[in-house]
Amino acid sequence: MPRRHDGPQRHRDTEKIYLKPLCLCVSVARESAIAFGIAAMMYGGVRAQSPNLGTPIAEAEVAGWDISILPDGTGLPPGSGTPAEGATIFAAKCALCHGPEARGGTNAALVGGAPLTNGIDTAKTIANFWPYATTLFDFTRRAMPWQAPRTLTSDEVYALTAYLLSINKIIGAQDVMNAQTLPKVRMPNRDGFRPRFPEMIP
C-alpha cells in the first residue's frame, strides 16, 4: 500500500525536476533564435527579403550633404577669400537683409555686440558669442543667403567669412581666409562656454 501512494508522488517530483531544465532550454533556444534573427536583420543577412524601399545611395551623393565643419577646421574645402572681396559680395547678396556693412536691417546685425554681462538678456552676436570662427563658414555655406541657401561658392564663403571677421576686428583687413588660416582665428568668447560634463571632453 505505501508503495502505491508513493508512486504518483514520486512521479510528480520527477516531472518537476526534469521538466524545469527542459523549459529553460526551450526558452533559451527561442531567445537565441530571436536574437540571431535581429542580428541577421541588422547585419544584412536577410537583405534579400527586404521590402525594397529606396535605392542604395552612392558615396558622391552623400558627399553633397556631408558638409559639416568641425571647430578644428575638419571639412573645410579648398579655396580662399579676403575681407575686400567679401565686402563686395556682402553688398550684393546680404545687405538687403542684414543692412549696409552688416549693421542690421530686417535681420540681425552681424557686426558688434555688447559684452555678455548678462548672459540671457544681452543680444548674442558673432563677435560676443560665437566660440569658433569655422562655424561662420559652416553656417553661411549651409544657410545663407536666406532665400537661396547653398548657392555660394567656397571662395565666396571664405571671402564673406573674412569680411565678417574683419569688420568685427577679429582679423586684420588684409588677412586671407582659407582652410589653414580660418581654424587658427581665435574668437573672443572662445572660453566663455562651461561644458556641463567636462569629464566627457577628451
Binding mask 13-52 for ligand HEC (x = CB under 6 A): ----------------------------------------
- Tell me the C-alpha distance between 98 and 106, whole Å: 6
Question: Which helix H or strand E contains 169, and what residues bound it?
Answer: none
Instruction: Copy the grid coordinates of residue 197.
Output: 560634463
Choosing from 104, 108, 112, 176, the residue that interacts with ligand HEC (CB under 6 A) is 108
For residue 183, whether the previous peptide bond is cis, meaning omega lies within 30 degrees of 0, is no
- Strand ranges in the chain using DSSP code E only, listed in sequence order: 80-81, 177-178
110 is an interface residue for ligand HEC by CB under 6 A: yes
Residue 139 contacts residue 153 (beta carbons within 8 Å): no
82 is an interface residue for ligand HEC by CB under 6 A: no
Choosing from 82, 125, 178, 189, the residue that interacts with ligand HEC (CB under 6 A) is 125
Choose between 34 and 91: whose C-beta lies nearer to ligand HEC: 91
Binding site for ligand HEC (CB under 6 A): 93-94, 96-98, 107-108, 110, 125-126, 136, 139-140, 144-147, 160
